[in-house]
Chain A
C-alpha cells in the first residue's frame, strides 16, 4: 500500500468539507494506489495533490446541506446589517449620540497626541547623512556636559581618524540687529566654525554655504532673511551690516531651518570673527560640538579612539568626549554617569499612554452602552439564530456596527482636530497640522478605527452572539447576571482611569505651583532685563548710574548670563588655599557687575556685595561653594578663578540656580563688568511701567542705533518649566475630558437602568416609597462602583506620581487630601450625572409606568 503526501492529506482534513471527508479520503487513497501502479509515483503524487487542492472548500463549491447558508458577507446580508444598524442608531438618538460623541472625543484626543508625538519623533532626523552626524558631549563619568571646550573640534579632527569633519558653535545664539539699506530688523543667528555646512547640508537656494562660511567676511542667510532685506532669494553678493558694526557680503542663501531642528538660526558667520582668547581654552566649556564620522566608521570605534583626548592637551582635564547620534539628541538629552537615560522621550511615552487611556475610556463607554442594550437586541439575535445565522455572521454584524460608529466618530474627530489645532499649536509651541496627503496619516487613521471598533465592538459581538436563542426568545436575558457584572467592572475600570488622571492632574498642578512660587533664594519678581548691545557696552556704567537715579528703579546690575542660564564648568581653573590637587569638584560660574546681590535680593551670609568702584579680581561665592572649598573664614580668602587671583568679598546664601530638577550647586561669581550681556534692573513694585520708560529713554540716548528691547526675568523662569507646564496643562484637559467621557457613559447607563426599572419604580411608589428613597436606590449602585474605583485608583496613582516627583530635586509631598478631593469630586460628579435620570424616573406618575402592558 502506498502512502500519499501527508501534508496534502492534512490539508484535506482541515479544509475539506467535513460531511464527505470520509469517503473522499478513502476514494483518494484507493485512486492513489491505482495511479502509482498505472502512471508511476511521481505523477500519482501530482494528481493526488491536484485533486486535494481542488477539493478544498473555498475552491470547491459544496452544497451538501439541505438548507444552504448564505455567505455572511453577501451583498444582501450586508445591506441587511446596515439597515438594522441604522435603525438602531436612529431609534435611540440619545444613546447613539453619546456613543459617537464619546468616541469622537477620545479619538480626536489620540489624534492630536499622535500628531504631537510624530512631530517630536521627527526632531533632528531630517539632515542628509544624519546617521553619520554625532553630537559631542564631555563626561567625567559622573557629570556629563553638553557643552564642550573650543579646542576640542580641531583636536578631534587631528587625532581621531574616524572623524571626517567637526564643527563647533557657541552654546548661545545672538539676536543681532541687521541693516541693509533702509531695512533694519533683529534676527537670531550664530557663529560657527569652518566645517559647519560640510556637516549640515541644508538645501541651498543660491551660492555655496560650504565655501562661504570659511571666509570671515561673508555671511550665510536663510530664505526669510534674504526676502526681508533684499526682497529676493538671489541675494548673493549683496552686503548687510551686522550688529551695527561689521559689514558682510552675503555668500549663500539657504532654505529656512525647519522647526523640528534643535539648531536654529537665520544667519551664520565664521566663528573666528568673534573668537576671544578664553574660547581657545580647554578649561572653558561653552561650545556645542558636532562631528561627522567617516562612512566606514562607527560610534563605538570613534569613542574608543577619542577616550581621554583632552588630557593629551591639558593634563588636569580628565573629561572624555562621548558621541550621540544627532537624531537622539532631542529626545534622549539626559545623561547620568555618562550614559543617556532619557529626557523628552518620557513625555512622548506619557502622552502616548494618556492617548491610549482616553481612547480606552471612550471604548468602554461604547461597550457599556452596547451591552446594556443587549437585552433589547436579544430578540433580534434569537430570531436571526433560529432562521439560521451562524455565530460568525452575528459577530460580523456587531463588529460591522461598531466599525460604522467608529467611522462616524472618526469623521467627527478629524473635524474636531482641525478646529482645535490652532489653539493646541499655541500652547505646545509647534506648527502641527494634518497632512491629508501623507499615507502615514491614513494608515494611522485606519489603525485607529480598526483598534477602536475591535475594542469597542468585541464584547457586544462575542456576548450577544453567544446567547442561546431559546432563552432569549423566552425573555430570560433581561435579568442575566453576567452582563451586569461585566458592565459594572467596565464602569469601575473607566472610573479608575479617570480618577488616576484626576489625581495626576492635582499632584502635577501642586508641584508646578510649588515650583512657581517657592522662594528661590533670589527674587525673580520685578526684575527686568535688557540686553547689552552696541554702544551700551562701553557706556555700561553710565547707563547703570543714570537709570538708577530714577525713582522707579531700586537697583541695577550687569551680568554675563541670566541667573537661569548660569554656565557650568569644571574646577579646572578654580584653586583655593589648601586645595587637594586631585579634587574634582564641580562649580557653576557666572560673571557679574556691581550690586549683583542687592539687585537680585540674594541674602549675604557674610561680607559684602560687589560695589562700585571695586576693580581687579573679586569673587562672590555661595554657601555650597564655600563648603566644598572647606574654608573656615571664606571672606577675604584669596582664590583664583576665571579672572585671576583675588579675594572672596561675600558669601551668598544658597539660591536655586536652574530648575527644581537639580539640587543647588556650588557657584562662584566673578566681578567682571567687561563681560556683560545683560542689565538686570530691579524696579519698584507698581512702577514697572515707569522703569521701562526710563530704561528705554536712556538706552535711546546712549545707543541710538539699536531698538530698545526688554524682558521680564520671571517669564524666563516660567520657560524653564515649559515642558512641565505643558504636561500640566495637557493633563488638566485630558483629565477633564476623561471625566466628561466617563460621565457621558454613566449618563447613558443611568438612562438605561431607569428605563428598565420603570415598572419596579412604579410598584415601589404605589407601595409608598418616597422620591428620595427611589433616587437613593438608583444612585446607590453607581456610587458603589465609583467607591471601588477610588480604592483601586488611589494606590496606583500614588505610586506613579511618586515616581514622577522623583524627577525633581525639590518636591511636594503627596497629601491624603488629594485622594479625598479626587474621590469626592468623582462621587459628586457621578451623583449629578445619575441623579438627573433617577429623579426623572422617580417623579414619573406610577399610573403611567404601570398601565402599559
Chain B
C-alpha cells in the first residue's frame, strides 16, 4: 500500500497528540497547538484533522467519562497508533536527511 501522506498541519496535530499522551482531546489539543506554535487555530480545523487522521489509521480514539463542566458530555481521547508513530518517525527522518544534505556554506548563511 502506498504510504499515507502526512500534511503539515496533520503532522502538528499528530505530534501534539503524542505530546499530550493520555490527556489528548479536542480542547487540549487546540490549546496546546495555540500555545506551542503561537498561531490561532480554529477548533473545527483541529476536529476535522483529527477525524482525518483517525480515518488514515494514525490515531485511535475512545470515549472518556462524563464531566460536569461539559454539561455531562463525554470527551473523546486520542492515542497515536503504531502506524502514527511510524509516520512521525518517517517524517522526522526525512527532515533530518534533508538537513544533512544541506551544503555547509548554506547552513552557515542560515545561522545554524
Please report A residues at the B interface, Cβ cutoff 8 Å: 1, 20, 22-31, 33-34, 47, 50-51, 54-55, 60-64
Contacts and interface: CB of A to CB of B under 8 A. Distances in A.
Contacts of A24: 26, 47
Interface stretch (B7-15, B71-79, B81-89): B71-79
Contacts of A63: 51-52, 55
Q: Decide if the interface of chain B is mainly helix, strand, loop or mixed.
A: helix
Please classify how large the interface on chain B is, using the bins under 10, 10 to 19, 20 to 34, 35 or more.
20 to 34
Given A23-B63, A62-B51, A51 B74 contact: no
Contacts of A60: 44, 48
A54 B47 CA distance: 10
16 contacts: A20-B47, A22-B74, A23-B25, A23-B26, A23-B75, A25-B71, A26-B70, A26-B71, A29-B69, A30-B27, A30-B69, A30-B70, A31-B27, A54-B45, A60-B48, A64-B54
> When A and B form their complex, which 5 residue pairs have the shortest distance between CB atoms, in order from nearest?
A26-B73, A27-B26, A54-B44, A26-B70, A23-B76
A22 B73 contact: yes
Contact of B73 (A1, A23, A33, A51): A23
Nearest to A28: B43
Contacts of A20: 47, 51, 76
Contact of B42 (A1, A26, A51): A51
Given A24-B26, A27-B43, A34-B31, A64 B51 contact: yes
B48 A27 contact: no
A54 B43 CA distance: 9
B74 A61 contact: no
Contacts of B70: 25-27, 29-30
Contacts of B48: 55, 60-62
B71 A29 contact: yes
Given A29-B70, A29-B73, A54 B51 contact: no
Interface in B32-81: 42-45, 47-48, 51-52, 54-55, 63, 67, 69-71, 73-76
Interface of B: 25-27, 30-31, 42-45, 47-48, 51-52, 54-55, 63, 67, 69-71, 73-76
Contacts of A55: 44, 47-48
Q: Among the interface residues A20, A23, A47, which one has the most CB atoms of the partner chain B within 10 A?
A: A23
A27 B29 CA distance: 10
Q: Among the interface residues B43, B47, B63, B69, which one has the most CB atoms of the partner chain A within 10 A?
A: B43
Given A26-B26, A47-B43, 14 more contacts: A23-B75, A26-B74, A26-B75, A27-B30, A27-B47, A27-B70, A28-B43, A29-B69, A29-B73, A34-B27, A60-B44, A61-B48, A62-B51, A63-B52
A140 B54 CA distance: 87
A821 B89 CA distance: 91
Contacts of B67: 26
Given A24-B47, A27-B27, A63-B55, A50 B75 contact: no
Contacts of A23: 25-26, 63, 73-76
Nearest to A33: B69
Contacts of B76: 20, 22-23
Nearest to A23: B76
A110 to B, nearest CB: 50
A50 B45 CA distance: 11
B63 A31 contact: no
A161 B34 CA distance: 80
A20 B78 CA distance: 13
Q: Among the interface residues A1, A22, A60, A64, which one has the most CB atoms of the partner chain B within 10 A?
A: A22
Nearest to B69: A30
A50 B42 contact: yes
Nearest to B77: A23
Contacts of A30: 27, 69-70
